[in-house]
Structure 1
Amino acid sequence: MLLALKIEVDSLAAARDITPRLVTLLQGLDANASFFFNLGPDRSGQADGPLFQVGETRKQIRRNRALGGPRGAGRLYGRWLPAPQLHKAVASAIQVIQQAGYETGLRGWDRVNWIKRITTADEAWVRNELTAALHAYEHLLGQPAQAIALPGWRTGRHALRLEQQLGLHYGSDCRGSSPFLPVVDGEPIRVPQLPTTLPTLAELTGANEMDDLATVDQLLALTASPTPAGHVFTLNADADGGKRLPLLQRLLAAWREQGQQFASLAQLHATLDINKLPWHSLEQSSWPGYSGMLAVQGPAFPRG
């Protein structure tokens, strides 16, 4: 059973301090994964308010910040301190992860502004954001990015159309149940979407207030029955790589015992026949625990 691990790296602290812990954990389990990097300004100090919360009370928000690892001054970036430019600050971390054999891809350029603005952004703004990220990635690694996982499961027609124009192999920009080709506002896009299919640790421990044992049991139950295309599990380095790391380690070990094969999204993509993938609408929908609208896999379209 294929279980692709998608790791979001959004901040300087996550890239510099937390990803090495995650690499050590993955290597100990002989697990593959994909790391997606934000490459523009680290505005962690502006990542508050309802758009960045997952249904928590104020007490839970304070607790989850404590679980986020050694962010330190990162809570001030973009608010009281200048926002570091991540493509300059984390170049060596990205290269080390790639040299260790893990897939790397894009989150985008400015995660905080993307989540705040994408619902009303025009094509020019979206193009500027994505091309800035793509150019930074190619400059760092000497090769173009092949995959993208846009922040907060928030995307739309302009972004998806650009993914196709810019030659990306796949996106993981939405929530859903299985890989598909998206149709957005009636426009078909031939860049497969590999949606997040499982709830995140933040959703289960924050919005649903589950303890560690219940969280692991819930996720094991969701993956107990094989599915044709496997699953995609998203974890955020900031939120899940600090004091929550023991929970993540416990979950991955339990999944290994269940028979899951940990994979990168590129490996999942390689199993797909794009000519046989179903077409589905990509819709903007509410999602439990979140403010605003998330991109969600909608009903199937008949193939032409």
Structure 2
Amino acid sequence: MPKLTLKIDADTYRGTREGVPNLVRQLQRHKANATFLFSLGYDHTGWALKQIFRPGFFSKVSRTSVVEHYGIKTLMYGTLLPAPDIGKSCAQFMRAVRDAGFECGVHTWDHRVWQDNVRTADTQWTEETMQQAYGRFHDIFGVPPGTHGAAGWQMNDYAFSMLDQFGIAYSSDGRSQLNEDGSLADPDAGPYRLSAGGKTLSCVQLPTTLPTLDELLGRTIRGTPIDTSNVAALLLRLTAQPRDHVFTLHAELEGQKLAPIFEQLLAGWKAQGYELVSMGDYYQSVKDDVLPILPIAWGELPGRSGDMILQSM
């Protein structure tokens, strides 16, 4: 049975308090597993305004209704409103996810700060930031994190090496390359190990192989405008041919206003014969002794602005 891994990023204070519990209930109804990755420090979502000069930013904002999905209050955190400490104020919501039987891992300390700075950051900044997230996770859950998924699919050589130092066996820090219609550019895309700093790293990468909803909504693909009425059908066409996949969703989107679309996807993937699993479930099926070893690569994907970690071809 092919596996479809559900990787849930909780980027914000609101997403952790509202979207995460919604997703837990929805997954339980469908008897689906998933991995929740938490932002454990401050919510500086308002600092995203610095991106206004980045190519493609305005088109993405207009396509995905950022204000509608994130809310005005969230978009003011770190600017007109103080940034809430997610880990301190939402620890009970995170532990409730674990208590419901779902895998929990580290997304980042501060999503905005990590996404904007890590690519060019030095060793000290990277280690200190990751240690903050590692320590906060341990404070909340009483155990070290078992997995990781980088905010904005942004990393650097030091960050990848830190995963090995933390003893993290598997992580999902990047993406597989996609065609304009969302299909995989490389039919062999999937788990791999990285070569960084002159050595092969132990941590197995489980790249996201499908486009995200916010990358599809509002675009025109093969002459068809994509909106909330047909985006689920598009994704289900991309998974019609059975193979293992990793899908990234967001507590702020699928956990709130886009929940009806995720409902269609859960039902559709079950009908297609997929086992809906966590990252840990998927990793258990991966033969890591025969995985390709690939260099760190960067590039853009359709529907998303800026470079991110991509699986090299």
Instruction: Give, in angstroms, the shift of residue 166 of structure 1.
Output: 1.5
Instruction: Give, in angstroms, the shift of residue 214 of structure 1.
Output: 3.0
Per-residue Cα deviation, 1:144-191 (whole angstroms, up to 9, x for no partner) = 001000101111211101111121121100002200111236432110
Whether 2:282 is the aligned partner of 1:281: answer no
Aligned partners of 2:7 and 2:249 also within 8 Å:
yes
Whether 2:72 is the aligned partner of 1:60: answer no
Does 111-120 or 190-199 show the bigger shift? Answer: 111-120
CA distance in 2, matches of 1:100, 1:206: 35
Residue of structure 2 equivalent to 1:266: 280
Tell me the amino acid that sits aligned with residue 27 of structure 2. L
Tell me the amino acid that sits aligned with residue 84 of structure 2. P
CA distance in 1, matches of 2:152, 2:120: 15
- Where structure 2 has 5 or more consecutive residues not aligned to the other structure, the ranges are 177-188
Tell me the amino acid that sits aligned with residue 37 of structure 1. F
Does 277-286 or 36-45 show the bigger shift? Answer: 277-286
Does 215-224 or 106-115 show the bigger shift? Answer: 215-224
Which SS does the other structure have where 1:291 is aligned?
A: strand
Instruction: Give, in angstroms, the shift of residue 118 of structure 1.
Output: 1.5
Q: TM-score, normalised to structure 2's length? A: 0.88
Match of 1:200 among 212, 236, 239: 212
Tell me the amino acid that sits aligned with residue 35 of structure 1. F
Size of the alignment, in residue pairs? 294
CA distance in 2, matches of 1:57, 1:87: 28
Residue of structure 2 equivalent to 1:106: 106
Residue of structure 2 equivalent to 1:2: 3
Instruction: Give, in angstroms, the shift of residue 292 of structure 1.
Output: 2.3
Distance change (3 Å), C-alpha of 1:120 and 1:174: same
Distance change (3 Å), C-alpha of 1:274 and 1:287: same
Identity %, equivalent residues? 33
Which SS does the other structure have where 1:143 is aligned?
A: coil
Instruction: Give, in angstroms, the shift of residue 257 of structure 1.
Output: 1.2
Tell me the amino acid that sits aligned with residue 69 of structure 2. L
Aligned partners of 1:55 and 1:206 also within 8 Å:
no
Aligned partners of 2:137 and 2:144 also within 8 Å:
yes
CA distance in 2, matches of 1:164, 1:195: 17
Residue of structure 1 equivalent to 2:164: 164
Q: CA RMSD in A?
A: 1.9
Instruction: Give, in angstroms, the shift of residue 60 of structure 1.
Output: 2.9
Q: TM-score, normalised to structure 1's length? A: 0.91
Which SS does the other structure have where 1:19 is aligned?
A: helix
Which SS does the other structure have where 1:292 is aligned?
A: strand
Tell me the amino acid that sits aligned with residue 168 of structure 1. I
Residue of structure 2 equivalent to 1:35: 36
Residue of structure 2 equivalent to 1:297: 311
Which SS does the other structure have where 1:199 is aligned?
A: coil
Which SS does the other structure have where 2:152 is aligned?
A: helix
Match of 1:219 among 228, 235, 238: 235
Aligned partners of 1:55 and 1:290 also within 8 Å:
no
Which SS does the other structure have where 1:114 is aligned?
A: helix
Tell me the amino acid that sits aligned with residue 143 of structure 1. V
Residue of structure 2 equivalent to 1:184: 196
CA distance in 1, matches of 2:155, 2:102: 25
Residue of structure 1 equivalent to 2:75: 75
CA distance in 2, matches of 1:37, 1:52: 28
Whether 2:138 is the aligned partner of 1:122: answer no
Distance change (3 Å), C-alpha of 1:213 and 1:254: farther
CA distance in 1, matches of 2:92, 2:55: 28
Instruction: Give, in angstroms, the shift of residue 213 of structure 1.
Output: 4.1
Aligned partners of 2:155 and 2:309 also within 8 Å:
yes
Per-residue Cα deviation, 1:73-96 (whole angstroms, up to 9, x for no partner) = 222111111111111011000100
CA distance in 2, matches of 1:202, 1:57: 8
Match of 2:268 among 239, 243, 254: 254
Instruction: Give, in angstroms, the shift of residue 64 of structure 1.
Output: 3.7
Does 29-38 or 203-212 show the bigger shift? Answer: 203-212
